[in-house]
């Protein structure tokens, strides 16, 4: 594989894939560093991915460095690095041991978000959908969602439209919280975020349903009575009809009204 990297036919994508394989199998880290110097492309993410697959601690260290770099580079380089990091978070294949990889990546990510300033937090949020993708249909991963409390706080308070991937994952996040984990301000933040989303008539049906489920789970799990809070909760029936359709609104509208009382 090392010889292929020096070929004139080896483009950037090819070099990326080769470096993942080399880092996954090469034991000598010094040799890996020397090899990296001879490659004309930026392959840090590829090497980090290979090291993560092989279970080496250097992979985690590289991810931490890459997350810090993402917050400090200029816009053009940031977009490219962000795309590479999103690929690094893609471990759908069971052979890649997605649970272990998710544990390692999520720890790095949560630590980076917790230690970042507000501007850096906003940048790091661009990676969250890729990280959440690896949690879909993975019960073991979902059980670790409580560790994402600070991350979801940031994601729900950006002041912008909340990313669909965040809203899709929100029911699983709320379901994983213990009643003692849900502070009044956390519950109110979730309520404000999902009601604002549902007030947008362009919100897709699947996202509306995720919002409704989040509210229902919050009502079931929170020990705090949100009806005493200074917040107006609700959306007009006409809006619900426009989103749900005349024929299929009854169940979800009743469920929504029950949640909001």
Question: What is the per-residue DSSP string for 94-134?
Answer: GGG-HHHHHHHHHHHHHHHHHHS-HHHHHHHGGGHHHHHHT
Statement to judge: residues 120 and 187 lie in one domain: no
Q: In the chain, which stretches have pLDDT less than 70?
A: 1-8, 91-98, 134-144, 159, 226-261
How far, in Å, CA of 42 to CA of 16, rounded?
8
Domain end, chosen from 92, 113, 143, is at 143
DSSP secondary structure letters along 10-33: --HHHHHHHHHHHHHH---HHHHH
In a domain, 169, yes or no: yes
Residues 121 and 75 in one domain: yes
Domain assignment present for 16: yes
**Token pair 């600070």 is at which residue?**
150
119 and 163 together in one domain: no
Point out the domain boundary residue: 119, 143, 167. Answer: 143
Identify the three-state secondary structure at position 200: coil
Residues 5 and 88 in one domain: yes
pLDDT tens figures, 179-226: 888 888 889 999 999 988 988 888 999 999 999 999 999 988 888 776
pLDDT in tens, 97-108: 667 777 888 889
The confidence score (pLDDT) of residue 250 equals 43
Q: Find how far residue 135's CA is from the centre of its chain.
A: 9
Last residue of a domain, one of 81, 111, 143: 143
88, two tokens? 């690094």
> Residues 107, 43: one domain?
yes
Q: Quick one: 133 and 235 in the same domain?
A: no
Assess if residue 17 is contained within a domain: yes
Same domain for 166 and 109: no
Residue 38 lies in a domain: yes
CA–CA dist 194, 156 (Å, integer) = 9
Q: Is the domain of 155 the same as that of 134?
A: no
Q: Would you say residue 259 lies in a domain? A: no
Which residues span the domain enclosing 94?
Answer: 1-143
For the chain, what is the domain count? 2
Cα–Cα dist 218/179, whole Å: 9
Domain contains 261:
no
176: in domain: yes
**22 lies in a domain?**
yes
Q: Can you read off the two tokens belonging to residue 16? A: 């990326």
- Are 15 and 139 contained in the same domain? yes
Do 122 and 220 have their domain in common? Answer: no
Map residue 177 onto helix, strand or coil.
Answer: coil
Looking at the fold, whether 137 and 158 belong to one and the same domain comes out as no
43 φ, ψ (degrees, to nearest 5) = -125, 20
Q: CA 162 → CA 67, 69, 152, 190, 240, distances in Å?
A: 21, 24, 10, 11, 20
Per-residue confidence (pLDDT) for residue 114, from 0 to 100: 93
C-alpha–C-alpha distance, residues 56 and 63, integer Å = 12
pTM: 0.78
**Cα(32)–Cα(26) distance, rounded to whole angstroms?**
7
Answer yes or no: do 152 and 138 share one domain: no
pLDDT at 124: 94
């Amino acid at each position: 594989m090392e010889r292929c990297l020096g070929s004139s036919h080896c483009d950037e994508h090819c070099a990326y894939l080769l470096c993942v394989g080399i880092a996954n199998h090469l034991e000598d880290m010094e040799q890996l560093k020397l090899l990296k110097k001879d490659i004309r492309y930026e392959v840090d993410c590829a090497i980090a991915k290979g090291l993560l697959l092989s279970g080496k601690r250097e992979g985690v260290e590289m991810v931490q460095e890459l997350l810090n770099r993402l917050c400090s580079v200029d816009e053009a380089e940031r977009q490219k690095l962000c795309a590479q990091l999103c690929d690094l978070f893609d471990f759908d294949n069971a052979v890649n041991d997605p649970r272990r990889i998710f544990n390692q990546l999520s720890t790095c990510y949560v630590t980076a978000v917790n230690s970042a300033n507000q501007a850096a937090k906003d940048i790091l949020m661009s990676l969250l959908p890729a990280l959440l993708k690896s949690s879909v249909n993975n019960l073991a991963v979902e059980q670790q969602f409580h560790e994402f409390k600070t991350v979801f706080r940031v994601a729900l308070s950006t002041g912008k439209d909340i990313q669909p991937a965040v809203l899709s994952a929100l029911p699983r996040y709320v379901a994983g919280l213990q009643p003692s984990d849900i502070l009044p301000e956390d519950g109110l933040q979730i309520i404000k975020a999902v009601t604002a989303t549902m007030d947008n008539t362009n919100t897709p049906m699947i996202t509306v349903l995720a919002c409704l489920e989040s509210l229902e789970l919050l009502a079931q799990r929170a020990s705090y009575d949100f009806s005493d809070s200074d917040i107006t909760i609700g959306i007009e029936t006409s809006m619900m009809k426009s989103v749900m359709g005349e024929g299929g609104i009854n169940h979800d509208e009743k469920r929504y009204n029950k949640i909001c009382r």
